[in-house]
Structure 1
Amino acid sequence: MNWQSLVDNRQRFFWLLQIAGWIGYALVNYIGSKVFEMRDIYVFVILLNAYAGCLMTVPLRYIYRKIWNASPWVLMIVVFGASYITGTLWAVVQKFNLWEIYRHGYRPEEWFYYLQQGLDSVYIILCWSGLYFGVKYYQLLQSERQKALKATTMAHEAQLKMLRYQLNPHFLFNTLNAISTLILVKENKDANLMVARLSDFLRYTLNTDPIKKVPLEQELHALMLYLEIERVRFDERLKVNVDISEQAKEALVPSLILQPIIENAIKYAIAHLAQGGVIDIKAQVFANELLLEVGDNGPGTEILDGQLVNAQGVGVANTKDRLKTLYENNYSFVLSHNTPSGLKVNLRVPFEKAVKK
């Protein structure tokens, strides 16, 4: 059982502190008895006093819980009043134990001795009350922090789901347009093949949790499903080169993080080349970071301050938003001109190794 779960269990936490606190009180008094060379029977008196204090402070807990939401003045009056009454009663018990067990009926003559012993007990009970309220406020603060963290996490997950699911209609719209075109030109065989591949790809996207990260090897499998759909349209005009290190294949990445980048490369580069084009996909691990690169040999486009000047669609913006949500500032997304032509996208994210099942 960890510390946080113990703090959250208020009943158990109270009894742990209650017993530990009064054991500590007994130890301090025992050490003091050794300093003043008290007889061994005094240890029994100490234990009785600590036991009495432990029992007599328990009702205070229920009193304070009843007035927890009262005004500050009511709280102060009840706390001081209850502490005074409890401390006085505890002082009476302590005197009884001391005089009847340790001193065999002895009574001091000085009146201030009675008053001093009573005030000492009241001070201790006041300290107990202060600690009680301090611990309660700490538990409330932790509870509010957990609620705020849970609310933030839920909002975070909702944003990720929205961004991931935004890709499906976007991609589906483009693919259905392609299927419609194939049907219009009476390429029914290719249209049927594209529908089958589309079904496989959408099944993968629906079975993948948009919140969880997936191994890059699994992500590449989804990319191949998508590229099979595009190959129905482009046939031999679309070529893909994949260069992924073995270590990079085990890295965890957001699901479908590369698909919109590949889709943009096909739409704005390969589709405009009469002889078709090439898409290069590379990944490696360096300095505990995963480096991803997607490049094409298309006509390219104008880039200003790392941004596409004539950016269209949601692919690039969606990818950036997902990376920002998942990694905050611990990532990079760089657009640059490819050599000798085309566009290149470089991603850098922390390397997280997938756990083998």
Structure 2
Amino acid sequence: MYKFFEDRSRQFWLLHTLGWLGFAIVNYLGSLVQETRDAYLIVIGLDAYIGWLITIPLRYAFQRVWFWPPWKMVITVLLLAFVIAAIWTAVRNFNYWEIYRHGSRPGDWVKYIRDTPVAFYVILSWCGLYFGIKYYQTLQLEKQKSLTATNKAHEAQLKMLRYQLNPHFLFNTLNAISTLVLINESDTANKMLSRLSDFLRYSLYKDPINKVALEQELYAARLYLEIEKVRFTERLTIVFDIEPGTEQARVPSLILQPLIENAIKYAVASQINGGQITITAKKFGHDLLLEVADNGPGMTITNGLPKTSNTSATAESGVGLVNTKERLAALYDNDFALVLTHNQPTGLKVNIRIPLQLEKTEREHA
């Protein structure tokens, strides 16, 4: 039904017909006030039909003048409306004298067009409705084009943000695999390479526009952390605290990745004894709370971003957080939160709050 009415040509014929049908009904109701014969109903029907027929050429004429200068278009519309009104008036009066008056014609031919001002008002109303509807349709079409362009730009931005993989991670991983091969740890190198392949496949083939189940996101996080576990061995401790029932919550793909990368770099790699990373997911009312916490040396938080003595480190960690915040803003508008706090006794916590959208609920509404 929507596609049927979406066609602008169908819209015109439907509204055009309904408009003249309404004109006939109004005239019929007005005739009930006076004592009229049944023949007058025929006259009303003919008047509406002639009006329906004679205004059709106006549509094609107005399509040609639509892009003219305003003053020229207004003058043309008024002239055409007056000519159509005069012709319609003459035909209406002819029907009236021939059918209702049984051929009792007036002696003065001017009486055939004396009601032109009234008819001009009706035709001018038709023109006003036509231009009003056409302007509205054009405005809606422009809005649709603008929304389409915005959505395309929005999708491109999300993809750009999502595909900003850390090149240091790839370099370090490949370097670790190379080292394992040199020391004849081929089994470990093979496992590490397999995990890297699975992780890259996940990151490249998951559409950043669509959300994924949290369990898939945690699967990718485990792949990444298992790769890093080979590098750091006992220096890296990983803890998952996932509340039952949150596994099917919908989250942006790889939304935890930059947060885990920052924790690895500044809480584990920077310490001789390594560190612990805790990933938490739990429900809070109608929201889903995600947390990535570490027990590293921590950072000074300024304007929601970590601040260290190393300017480049601050910039790199800040880019990951800004990237994450921009993705969340693009997907959830203002219905999200990303907060950095100090972990106790040491370290940093990054908390994300997003609407709780369960995969089962989305399927039910599909």
TM-score (norm 2): 0.89
- 1:141–1:126 CA distance, 2 compared to 1 (3 A): same
- 1:77–1:217 CA distance, 2 compared to 1 (3 A): same
8 A Cα contact 1:8 1:139, kept in partner: no
Pair 1:325 & 2:330 matched? yes
Residue 156 of structure 1 deviates from its aligned partner by: 0.8
3-state SS in 1 of match to 2:165: helix
Pair 1:351 & 2:356 matched? yes
13-22 or 204-213, larger mean C-alpha shift: 204-213
Give the equivalent residue in structure 2 for 1:172: 170
Distance in 2 between residues matched to 1:356 and 1:115, nearest whole Å: 66
The structure 2 residue matched to 1:224, chosen from 210, 215, 222, is 222
Distance in 2 between residues matched to 1:258 and 1:295, nearest whole Å: 11
- 1:170–1:106 CA distance, 2 compared to 1 (3 A): farther
AA aligned opposite 1:308: P
TM-score (norm 1): 0.92
Residue 328 of structure 1 deviates from its aligned partner by: 3.0
Give the equivalent residue in structure 2 for 1:95: 93
- 1:180–1:302 CA distance, 2 compared to 1 (3 A): farther
Q: How does 1:195-274 map to 2 (within 5 A)?
A: 195-274=193-272
Gaps of 5+ in 2: 309-313
Give the equivalent residue in structure 1 for 2:125: 127
Gaps of 5+ in 1: none
8 A Cα contact 2:17 2:52, kept in partner: yes
Give the equivalent residue in structure 1 for 2:16: 18
- 1:6–1:278 CA distance, 2 compared to 1 (3 A): same
Distance in 2 between residues matched to 1:322 and 1:125, nearest whole Å: 54
Residue 48 of structure 1 deviates from its aligned partner by: 1.2
**How many residues are aligned here?**
355
Give the equivalent residue in structure 2 for 1:46: 44
8 A Cα contact 1:295 1:344, kept in partner: yes
The structure 2 residue matched to 1:316, chosen from 303, 316, 321, is 321
8 A Cα contact 2:94 2:112, kept in partner: no
AA aligned opposite 1:152: T
Distance in 1 between residues matched to 2:225 and 2:178, nearest whole Å: 18
AA aligned opposite 1:47: G
Distance in 2 between residues matched to 1:276 and 1:299, nearest whole Å: 11
Give the equivalent residue in structure 1 for 2:64: 66
1:111-145 CA-partner distances (Å, limit 9, x unpaired): 88545422211221111111111111111111111
Distance in 2 between residues matched to 1:145 and 1:243, nearest whole Å: 46
Residue 49 of structure 1 deviates from its aligned partner by: 0.9
Pair 1:338 & 2:343 matched? yes
8 A Cα contact 1:330 1:349, kept in partner: yes
Distance in 2 between residues matched to 1:181 and 1:312, nearest whole Å: 30
Distance in 1 between residues matched to 2:296 and 2:89, nearest whole Å: 91
Distance in 2 between residues matched to 1:163 and 1:94, nearest whole Å: 68
Distance in 2 between residues matched to 1:249 and 1:37, nearest whole Å: 77
Residue 306 of structure 1 deviates from its aligned partner by: 2.9
Distance in 2 between residues matched to 1:353 and 1:158, nearest whole Å: 26
3-state SS in 2 of match to 1:202: helix
Residue 28 of structure 1 deviates from its aligned partner by: 0.3
RMSD (Å), alpha carbons: 2.2
